Structure 1
C-alpha cells in the first residue's frame, strides 16, 4: 500500500465510537490504498477493543467478497476499487505487517487474472512504541493526546520507506468520508496539510461579545511521509519545551502546542505546512447532505459530535 493511516485511541473512547471510525474507514475505500495502524494507551484498552476490530474487519471482508460474487450488483459499494491486476503483483510486494489478504477473481471474458487486495489493520500499545514513556519525567500524567507524539518517531521512522503519504487521526474525534488524502498525492513529500476548526475568542475585557476564529486542529495531520515525520518530531520537542517552563500557568494541550508550532516558521523550516481554509464540519452539519464517497471536499472529514453520532 502507498499510504498509512495512524489512528490514536484516547482513553475515553467507547466501543461504539471506535466501531463507527472503523466502519466508515472501510466504506470510504481508503483501505484500497492504505494500511491502518491503531495506537492504544494500554494493553487493557487493546484487550477491550480487540473484538470490535476483529468484527469490523470480518464484516468488511464479507462485504467485499459478497460484492465480488454479485458481479457489481451492489450499487452502494464499488468492489472494483479492491480488484488488482496480478501483473502489478511484484510492484506491490507483501505488506510489512504480514501477508496480504486476497483471493482469485476473474470476470467473464477476461484473460488476465485479478485479485482482491486491501490494506492491513494493525494495533500497537503505546509502551511498544514508546517503551520508556518519554514524557513521564515531565508530566505526572501523560494523556494519550500527548503521548501519541512520543510514539510516532519509532513507528514512522521504521516505515518511512514503505509509504508515500501518511495521516495521523484521532479515532474518537474524527471520522472519514471519501479519500481526504487524494488532494495530497501530487504534492511534495515535505508537504503537511492541517484542517482548521472554529474556536471562540473574546473581543476585549469591556466587550463581552465573543466571535469565532480559526485555529488548526491536531485531530488530523496528513501529508507526505517526510513532512508528517518532521512535524511529529518537532511537536514532541515542543511538548518537552512547554512542560519544562517553570512559570507556565496554562495546562499543556496538543491543540495549543500545534498552533504555536505552525506559527513558528523557524521550527518547521523543513516542512511545507499548509493550514487549510476548510474547517472540519460537525456531524450535525451533515444532516441531509449527499456526501460522495469519492469526494475530497471538506466533507471528507467530520468532527464527531457526542450527541449526534449515534442518533
Structure 2
C-alpha cells in the first residue's frame, strides 16, 4: 500500500515535470519529435529552413538597397561638384584671348627689336578656318549677356556706345575701331558695340584690332628707335589714380598676380590705361522687338533707340558721360567729350550737318542723329524721348515705314516743352568730311590737319579717305609691323 502510493506519487511528479518542460522549452520537444523514428519532424525542419532563408534574403536585400542608395547619393554629389568646378573654370582658348598682354610679353621679351612679320599676329588669319572664330568662347560682358572682347585696366567714367547698321562692312568697322583705339578717348572710356545680330566676322574684326592696339601700345613703350604716329603718352596713368578708379564692371573680376603687375609696369610710377571693349546684340537688349507692332520693318537706326532704355538704365550708376555714335557714318579721331566734362549731367550736345547745296535753304542747320553725347542723365532722357516720338509718329502715319530718324530728331529738338528737363546744346560747327582732311599722305601735314579734330564724317568719298588714312599709318615702321593689312 505504501509502496504503490509512493510509486504513484513519483509518477505524478514525473508527469508534472515533463509538462513544465513542454511549456517553457517547446523547441526541445520539437527537436526531439523531429528526431523521433516516426519521421514526422521532416516538414517542420524544411519550414524552419525556408523561414531562415527568407529572413536572410530579406536582410541581404535591404543591405544592398542601402548600399545602392548611398552610392547614388555619392555619385550625385560628385557630379554636382564637378559641374560647379567646370562652370567656374575659364577655357584655355578664351584665357589667351582675355589676357593678351601675357602673350605680348612672351614675344617681346625674346627680342627688344621691333616685332617682325613672322610674329606679327597673335590670331589666326582669314584662311585658317572660320570654325575657330565661330566656336571661340567669350566671357559674358554683364549679367549673363553680351560679349567681352577686352577687359580694360580700370573702371572708366565715360562710355562710347557705337551701333552698327545693317550696311556696315567689316572693313568699315575695322577702320572705326582702329582710329578710336589710337585716340585719347579710348584711354578714358569703354567701348560698347550694338550689333544687329551675332556675327563671327565682326567678332574677328574687333579681336584683331584690339590685339593690334595692345601690340602697338607696348611696342611704342619698349622700342624707342622705331618711328610711329602713335602717341603712347596719352595712355599712361599714375598708380594712385588707377587704384582710385577701381576695377571695370565688365566680365569676372580677376586678381592681378606678380607677373601681370610686372608686365603692366607696376614697378614704375605710371601704368597703362585703356578701356574695355564689349558688344551686345539687339535681341539681348530688345528681345520683344518692341517697335515691330508699329512698323512693318524696323531698321537698326530706329531699333537702337528701343535698346537704350534697358542698356543705359543698367549702367546709369557706372558712367558719367555717354556718346551714342553711328560706326558707319562717323570716325572718332580724338576726345569730343573734353568740352563737356565740366557741364551738368543733364547736358546733351548735338552736332549739325551742312545742308546740301540743292536742298531748301533753312535758317537752322539740321542736327545729326549719328552722334549724341553729354551727361549720362541727359542722354538717357533724350533717348527715352526719341523712343516715345518714334512710337507717336508711327501711330500717326498710315504708312508704317514712313518714320525718318533724322526728321524726327530735328522735330524733337524744336519742341522745347518735350525737352524741358534736358540742357540741350546744338553746335554751330558742322562735322567735317573725311575728304576735307589734307596732308594724310605726308608725315608732316597730317598732324596739323587731324590733331584738332575729334570726329569726322566718312562722306561720299569713303574709299578714298579710308585708303589715305591707311597709307598714312602704314608709312611708319611700328605701325606697319603691327597692322596686318599694311
TM value normalised by structure 1 = 0.88
Conserved? CA contact 1:28–1:293, under 8 Å: no
Query: Is residue 3 from structure 1 mapped to residue 154 from structure 2 by the alignment?
Result: no
Map of 2:103 onto structure 1? none
Deviation at 1:27, TM superposition (A): 1.0
1:310 is paired with a residue of what secondary structure? Answer: helix
Map of 2:408 onto structure 1? 257
Note the 1:109-258 alignment, pairs <5 A. Answer: 113-200=269-356, 211=361, 214-247=365-398, 251-258=402-409
Conserved? CA contact 2:438–2:449, under 8 Å: no
- Structure 1 residues 33-62: Cα deviation after superposition (integer angstroms, max 9, x where no partner): 00000000112xx32211000000000010
Query: Gaps (5+ residues) in structure 1?
Result: 204-209
Match of 1:55 among 180, 189, 208: 208
**Bigger mean CA offset, 53-62 vs 284-293:** 284-293
| Higher-Rg member (1/2) | 2
Conserved? CA contact 2:431–2:457, under 8 Å: yes
Match of 2:458 among 300, 304, 307: 304
Q: Give me the CA root mean square deviation.
A: 2.6
Map of 2:122 onto structure 1? none
Conserved? CA contact 1:72–1:79, under 8 Å: no
User: Which structure's residues are more often helix, by fraction?
Assistant: 2
Query: Gaps (5+ residues) in structure 2?
Result: 1-155, 440-444, 468-486
Q: Distance in 2 between matches of 1:139 and 1:250?
A: 6
Note the 1:44-123 alignment, pairs <5 A. Answer: 46-70=199-223, 76-98=229-251, 104=262, 105-106=264-265, 113-123=269-279
Query: Is residue 269 from structure 1 mapped to residue 420 from structure 2 by the alignment?
Result: yes
Deviation at 1:82, TM superposition (A): 1.9
Q: Distance in 2 between matches of 1:26 and 1:36?
A: 9
Deviation at 1:159, TM superposition (A): 0.8
Q: Distance in 2 between matches of 1:293 and 1:90?
A: 36
Conserved? CA contact 1:218–1:258, under 8 Å: yes
Deviation at 1:276, TM superposition (A): 0.3
Conserved? CA contact 1:72–1:78, under 8 Å: no
Deviation at 1:247, TM superposition (A): 4.5
The number of residue pairs the alignment matches comes to 298
Deviation at 1:226, TM superposition (A): 0.7
For CA contacts below 8 A with separation 6 or more, give which structure has more relative contact order: 1
User: Which structure's residues are more often strand, by fraction?
Assistant: 1
- Structure 1 residues 174-215: Cα deviation after superposition (integer angstroms, max 9, x where no partner): 001211111111111111111100224878xxxxxx547610
Residues 226 and 211 of structure 1: is their aligned pair in 2 closer, same or farther, counting only changes over 3 Å? same
Residues 103 and 259 of structure 1: is their aligned pair in 2 closer, same or farther, counting only changes over 3 Å? farther
Deviation at 1:164, TM superposition (A): 1.0
